[in-house]
Structure 1
Amino acid sequence: MGECSSELRGWEELIPDALGLIFRNLSLQEVLTVVPRVCKSWGHVVSGPYCWQEIDIEEWSQRCKPEQLDRMLQMLITRSCGSFRRLSVSGLRNDSLFSFIGDHATTLQTLELPRSEISDSIVECVAPRLSNITFLDVSYCKKIGARALEAFGQHCKSLIRLRRRMHPLEVADKVCQDDEAYAIACTMPKLRHLEMAYLLLTTRGVLEILSQCRDLEFLDIRGCWDVKLDEKFLKEQHSGLKVLGPQIVDCYERNFWDECSDYSDSSVYSWEFMEDGLDFYEGGSDDDGVWDEGQPLDGLEVRFYGGGLNDAFLAFDWPPSP
């Protein structure tokens, strides 16, 4: 027994890569505030790239203040040391932050930026630095259009999944968005999965995509009321393609609020870096430098919620099929 006990190793002795894999199963809150308090070696892992190959702060970013989002992203991307493969964040407020992402996107493969305020011009500048992207989500991004999609397609040659969904109110002032369909058709021939729900497309625009994207396996055109596709044509020319829409036949027709009848404030909690998350570093941490990366955190408030705005909620008031 004594010999076996001597061979046992403590958790703090695991190599950083192994600890990073374990910590990825924890919530963002736990990784940033609980794990660093355990011991110096764990704090070192959290402050390094080991936990940040996948950065998913979409839910939190929907509720934070713009300046808090900027600082959080800069901190986590800096910690990743350019090794992050996935980034999921909602509501980028400026082009400079998108440019910052591009500067560190050497290994980035999945980029999800729904509800962001990025522009066509910044996408044209940054897209050449996103050459390894395979999945892109630019849903509800009102300020971009065909120019941005064309730039993504020209420079992201490995792109196989694109999500470009909109809310009807966000496209109410537009006449037609077939230019986006043409941009996709001309520059993204390797697409296998394409979501374009509620864009103002016509049959001609969708047919152009089908003629150029021959590897397409899934097409979401829910709410694209002007699109009329012949079922016989699809079976003959695109037998392996699954088309969803244009009629709405999914969860959006259910009563969303009925599913939330058990909602309780007890499922919502918040925490703040300075008041609840960082105070323990003032004399109580083994490594005071964990958070010191040239980016002061004074006033940074981080709130986490048990629930979240999901796609069903966002589309709750979408109009039914005419």
Structure 2
Amino acid sequence: MASPPPSPPDWAGLPDDALLTVFGRLGAPEVLMGAGVVCRNWLRVATGEPDLWRRVDLSDCFDPTIDMVAMACAAVDRADGRLEHFAADCFVTDALLFYMAKRTNGLKSLRLVNCMKVSDKGLVALGKRSPHLEELELTTCSIYISMKAVGQAFPQLKRLRLNNRWVNVECEEQFDNHRALDIASNMPELRHLQLFANRLRNSALAAILDNCPHLESLDLRQCFNIHIDAELRAKCARLRDVRLPKDSTNDYDHEAYIETLELNSLPLLFAHDGVFTQQYPFHGSIDSDEDDQEDQDLDVALGHLAL
């Protein structure tokens, strides 16, 4: 007589340490959207173990059909104040950074890619509660984020990735030079700096090298305004690793293609009293009432945060 088939594994009865190992390998998106709601026991572990949520990586999973902000807020809540590393693409806003600021005070690393609705206001809010952040990435994010404000918000910053995409048109490089000078003046603890496709010139780069004495690595790939002369080579000689403008981009984490755009499709940058604004000269005015209201709301929130 044939023996009965073996009973199926009791996945719902897995011990907590085994579940934590599985969840840790899956990552935050998979736990939030699937594995964490398989059964009551799995949900209990997914929501009741803050250490599981010390590192939240929501990059490379953006889906416009999903409320990504709600997902991120759930992950922050589950960390219960222990969030140390956060990464995301596209959907992060100042409002989300403010939400994070109110719920954690030990953030060490923040990596944002293509997050155009993040400004220095949200970053300053984080800095009020997590001033010991050591790693910051802002890749193809808003060009209006003040590096002076960032440096003052995170005085212990050791690794900065401030990356753009090179656009093959004649553009005003004053803005990138200004931000480079702010890095030089406000980030003395930097060890690692990546400025991919930045339009800074040699003089601004020299200021960074002169005022960041602990700098160990520098990535200048696609910084085509930099001229590699004897003076620059001498300043870089103390660094352990230097990537030059024309070096290979094969190991770059993001898209590295060079864009070609029509000049009249680009915003023009205007400086007044050190503040940069944009205008689209061939496309009429932009209605900014909604953005102004968001700014007012954030100003109020930052005032409460400082109390």
Query: With structure 1 as the length reference, what TM-score do the two structures score?
Result: 0.67
Whole-angstrom distance in 1 between the partners of 2:169 and 2:189: 27
Deviation at 1:76, TM superposition (A): 1.1
Whole-angstrom distance in 1 between the partners of 2:188 and 2:156: 10
Indicate if the aligned counterparts of 1:45 and 1:51 stay in contact, CA closer than 8 A: no
Whole-angstrom distance in 2 between the partners of 1:122 and 1:172: 31
Report the counterpart of residue 200 of structure 1 in structure 2.
199
Structure-2 change in CA distance of 1:27 and 1:94 (3 Å):
closer
Superposed, 1:1-322 pairs within 5 Å as 12=13, 14-15=15-16, 19-28=19-28, 30-32=30-32, 33-37=34-38, 39-48=39-48, 49-61=50-62, 63-65=63-65, 68-92=67-91, 94-116=93-115, 117-145=117-145, 147=146, 149-169=147-167, 174-176=172-174, 177-231=176-230, 234-235=233-234, 238-251=237-250, 311-312=253-254, 314-318=255-259
Indicate if the aligned counterparts of 1:21 and 1:51 stay in contact, CA closer than 8 A: no
Whole-angstrom distance in 2 between the partners of 1:182 and 1:236: 16
RMSD over aligned CA atoms reads 2.9
Query: With structure 2 as the length reference, what TM-score do the two structures score?
Result: 0.70
Residue 118 of structure 1 aligns with an amino acid whose one-letter code is V
Whole-angstrom distance in 2 between the partners of 1:139 and 1:182: 19
What SS does the aligned partner of 1:92 have? coil
Whole-angstrom distance in 1 between the partners of 2:44 and 2:236: 56
Residue 156 of structure 1 aligns with an amino acid whose one-letter code is F
What SS does the aligned partner of 1:162 have? strand
What SS does the aligned partner of 1:207 have? helix
Aligned residues: 246
Whole-angstrom distance in 2 between the partners of 1:138 and 1:209: 18
Deviation at 1:217, TM superposition (A): 1.2
Deviation at 1:225, TM superposition (A): 1.8
Residue 77 of structure 1 aligns with an amino acid whose one-letter code is V
Whole-angstrom distance in 1 between the partners of 2:198 and 2:159: 17
Whole-angstrom distance in 2 between the partners of 1:47 and 1:172: 51
Identical counterparts, % of pairs: 24
Unaligned runs of 5+ in 1: 1-9, 253-309
Deviation at 1:181, TM superposition (A): 0.8
Deviation at 1:94, TM superposition (A): 3.2
What SS does the aligned partner of 1:164 have? strand
What SS does the aligned partner of 2:60 have? helix
Indicate if the aligned counterparts of 2:124 and 2:153 stay in contact, CA closer than 8 A: no
Deviation at 1:241, TM superposition (A): 3.5
Whole-angstrom distance in 2 between the partners of 1:31 and 1:129: 27
Structure-2 change in CA distance of 1:88 and 1:236 (3 Å):
closer
Unaligned runs of 5+ in 2: 1-10, 261-307
Whole-angstrom distance in 1 between the partners of 2:247 and 2:26: 36
Indicate if the aligned counterparts of 1:127 and 1:151 stay in contact, CA closer than 8 A: no
Deviations 1:17-44 (A, max 9, x none): x74344211244542323542x533321
What SS does the aligned partner of 1:51 have? helix
More displaced stretch, 157-166 vs 221-230: 221-230
Higher relative contact order (Cα pairs below 8 Å, separated by 6+ residues): 1
Deviation at 1:228, TM superposition (A): 2.0
Whole-angstrom distance in 2 between the partners of 1:204 and 1:246: 16
Deviations 1:245-291 (A, max 9, x none): 22243328xxxxxxxxxxxxxxxxxxxxxxxxxxxxxxxxxxxxxxx
